Every structure is written in structure tokens, then in C-alpha cells.
Amino acid sequence: MTTPIVEMDGDEMTRIIWKWIKDILILPYVDLKSEYYDLGLPYRDETNDQVTIDSANATLKYGVAIKCATITPNAQRVEEYNLKEMWKSPNGTIRAVLDGTVFRAPVLVDGITPYIPTWTKPITIARHAYGDIYKAVDTRAGKGKAELVFNNIDGKEERIEVFEFKDNGILCGMHNTDKSIENFAKSCFNYALDQKMPLWFATKDTISKRYDHRFKDIFNEIYENEYKEKFEKAGIYYMYTLIDDVVARIVRSEGGIIWACKNYDGDVLSDMVATVYGSLAMMTSVLVSPTGVFEYEAAHGTVTKHYYNYLKGESTSTNPVATIFAWTGGLRKRGELDGNKELMEFADKLEKATLKTIEEGNMTGDLIPLFKKEGVVNKKLETKAFLEAIAKNIA
């Protein structure tokens, strides 16, 4: 390696697995150069969360990071770890610095059939992570008139009647910004080019003629002006349609699509898509900034229950696949940016070895009920034994 990768360590069971992956699957094969940041909760607390900000800035500097799952503290965690403060979600902090969009993609295995069996290729959900109902104000209304009032800084006032209430009801005011939608669009177009997959985007612009329509227009403008030629060259396409139409098309599709969603749609549909593919433990996640900076991680959390069992000395069979794919995603991207073919080939090899291990019947407990292949007997392995089985398959 020439340029270091930004390595963000994390918490609980995934922290244990992080170290095992490094020791068993990375260090014996790669002359690893990494700039290490400990985002484990004790060190975040010690540094007043400065380490999280530093790690995000390092990601801006180097362009590629890999992140272990981390605890987002709540009241119970403040007590458990005796924290100075209820620190913010590290993912939120990093996203705010990188201004990125999160893409979630499943790892597909021959032998695990999605609940929609025609989905033979991955569907990646890109969720806009700013605004709409997540930054809305809402209230209850009684008899009276509700108005939408906008006071422009130049002194102009715009007033629109929302509804004349004859009786009790409810009200909501939400917003988004052109800048945030533009960044979302650029992250999606960049990611589609990176993956060489078509991009679909949908809203309800026929009903929401200004709000949702603005999303449609911004995507269109940016596509026409900055990405159309690149997409044509890459042999992919961009399609805009209505949200209800896209749901019907997705179900009938074979996958192989990047599906850009408004904030609420992404919240709801990413859980549906993840479930259809079988397991949260097989879902990867990458944060892509509008300028093309990448941060790879697993979509799941720190698997607390397994960690407490591990601390008691009990055997754990926690699935490391999504975390392995965070490593391979990051190393492959680093290789691509540095023109380091060997590193890219190693990432491919490690992914193939991981899938081969499962397809031969060796897997963690969560996959046992999902995996069915003729002539293969499923065997449940502890996490470490599973990682060692993968190492044996690295040709």
C-alpha cells in the first residue's frame, strides 16, 4: 500500500471481530498502511469526541475509510460507561463532516434465496439523510385557519392557506434545501458510476408539485449537465419515475439497481429490502460524499447481546461477513485510487473466499436457517473458526 486507509475502530462484539479480521484475514496478506482512530466509546469519552471529528477529517484528506460499528450512547450507556456526556452518534458526526449519502447493499450468497426469488442481483438503497419529516415541526390544531408563511430576507412575505379547520386536527411543516438535494444527487450519480449500475429515483411529484417536483428537477438538471455523457460511456442509465411505480417495478426486477430514495422512503424501504435478502448481518453500507470520498462499514450494530455472552466466556457465532466486506470495499477503493492492482485483486480474493466458505456449508449461526443447498450439510461455526475457514480458502 502507498496511501494509508483511515481505520476507525469501534465497540463491543464488532470490536473483537475487527481485531480477528485484521489478524486472520488482512495482516498475513497485506502490507497494511492505516491511520488508526479509536472510536470505541471509552476513547471517544476521553477525547470529548474529538477523535470522531479527527477521523472524519482524515477521511476527507485520504479519501477512503473503513469503520467498525460503534455504540450510540443513550441514558443506559452513559451509566454503563460512566460517560462525561451523552455523545452524539459517530455516524451522524462523520456524515455531517463528509456531507454524504449512505448506500446499503446486500452480500448475495448462492444458497440463500431472497424472499423475492427473482432478485438475483443486489439492490442498493441510497437514502437522502437530511430534512423532510425528520426535521419537521408539527402540532395539533383546533377550530381555525392554518397558514404557511414565508418571510423572505428581502422583506417579501408569502402566505398560503393550508386548511380551514372546522374541528380538531393535526399540522406539519417541513423543509429541505437545494444544496442538500444537489449533494444527494451527486453522491448517487457518483456511486452509480462507481458501481456501473443504473440509478432509479422516484418521488410523488404529481401530487407534491413544488416540493417533490424540486427533487425531480434538481436530479434532472445535474444529470443532463454533468453526468449524462459519463453514464452513456459507462453503459448505464438514469431513470426517474413515481414512487408507487418504482415499487411495482422493483418487485418485478432482477435487482442490479441503485435506488435513490427520499428520506422517509429510504427509512421504510431499506428495512424491506434488507429483510427480503435474508439477514442484516449480510448488509454492507458505504457513505459517499458529493466530492467522491468513501467510508465503508457494516449496516448492523455492535451486537451487544453476543458481546455480553462473549464476556461470560460463552462461545459466540457472530456473523463477520458485512465487516469483512467493509474491509474489502475500502481496500479495493484504495487500490483503485492508487492504481494498486494487487490490492484490488486481494479484495476480490477475500470476498470470493468468504462466499465459498459459506457455500461449502461453513457459516455462523444466523445463516443456518436461511441456507439451503443440495448436497451441502450446514455446519455452525464460532466466529473465529469461521474466519479461519475463510483464510484456508484464500487461494
Residues that bind ligand NAP (CB under 6 A): 69-72, 91, 280-281, 297, 300-305, 318-319, 366
Work out what residue 128 binds among ligand NAP, Mg ion, none; the CB cut-off runs from 5 to 8 Å by kind: none
CB of 207 to ligand NAP, least distance (A): 33
Q: Which is nearer to ligand NAP, 213 or 380 (CB)?
A: 380
Q: Which does 280 bind (CB under 5 to 8 A by kind): Mg ion, ligand NAP, none?
A: ligand NAP
**Nearer Cβ to ligand NAP (10/335):** 10
Q: Which is nearer to ligand NAP, 293 or 326 (CB)?
A: 326
Listed in sequence order, the residues at least 6 apart from 249 whose beta carbon sits closer than 8 Å to its beta carbon are: 200, 241
Quick check: 52 and 39 in contact, CB under 8 A?
yes
On whether the CB atoms of residues 363 and 320 are closer than 8 A, the answer is no
Partner touching 198 among Mg ion, ligand NAP, none, CB below 5 to 8 Å by kind: none
The distance of closest approach from Cβ of residue 305 to ligand NAP in the complex, given in angstroms and rounded to an integer, is 4
How far, in Å, CA of 88 to CA of 97, rounded?
13
Least distance between ligand NAP and beta carbon 27 (Å)? 21
Closest residue to ligand NAP, based on beta-carbon distance? 301
Where is 19: in which H helix or E strand? helix 12-21
Instruction: Using the CB atoms, write b or e for 102-139: b if 16+ within 10 Å.
Output: bbbbbbbbebbbbebeebeebbbbbbbbbbbeeeeeee
Minimum CB–partner distance for residue 39 and ligand NAP (Å)? 9
Count of residues in the chain: 395
Q: Which does 302 bind (CB under 5 to 8 A by kind): ligand NAP, Mg ion, none?
A: ligand NAP
User: Which residues neighbour 377 within 8 Å (Cβ) at sequence distance 6 or greater?
Assistant: 361
**Cα 193 to Cα 66: distance, rounded to the nearest angstrom:** 21
CA pair distance 284, 64, nearest whole angstrom: 15
Q: How far is the CB of 303 from ligand NAP (least distance, A)?
A: 4
Residue closer to ligand NAP (CB basis): 227 or 386: 386
Q: How far is CA 42 from CA 14, 23, 74, 152, 292, in A?
A: 15, 23, 14, 46, 31
Phi, psi of 293 (to 5 degrees): -100, 140
8 Å CB contact between 103 and 42: no
Q: Least distance from C-beta 168 to ligand NAP, angstroms?
A: 36
Question: Which is closer to ligand NAP, CB of 203 or CB of 284?
Answer: 284
Considering the complex, what minimum distance in angstroms separates the CB of residue 125 from ligand NAP? 15
Out of ligand NAP, Mg ion, none, what residue 319 binds, judged by CB under 5 to 8 A for its kind, is: ligand NAP
Binding site for Mg ion (CB under 5 A): 267, 271
**Minimum CB distance to Mg ion, residue 116 (Å):** 19
Q: Of all residues in this chain, which one has the CB nearest to Mg ion in the complex? A: 267
Residue 265 site contact among ligand NAP, Mg ion, none (CB < 5 to 8 Å, cut-off depends on kind): none
Whether 317 and 17 have beta carbons less than 8 Å apart is answered as no
3-state class of 222 per DSSP?
helix
267 binds, among Mg ion, ligand NAP, none (CB under 5 to 8 A by kind): Mg ion
Quote the least distance from Cβ 95 to Mg ion, whole Å: 16
Nearer residue to ligand NAP within complex by CB, 69 or 261: 69
Nearer to ligand NAP, 154 or 314 (CB): 314
The entry of ligand NAP, Mg ion, none near residue 169 (CB within 5 to 8 angstroms by kind) is none
Cell of 196: 456501473
Contacted by 55, from Mg ion, ligand NAP, none: CB < 5 to 8 Å by type: none
**Closest by Cα among 307, 305, 304, 285 to 296:** 285
Question: Can you spell out the DSSP letters for 126-193?
Answer: EE--S-GGGG-EEEEE-SEEEEEEEE-TTS-EEEEEEEEESS-EEEEE----HHHHHHHHHHHHHHHH
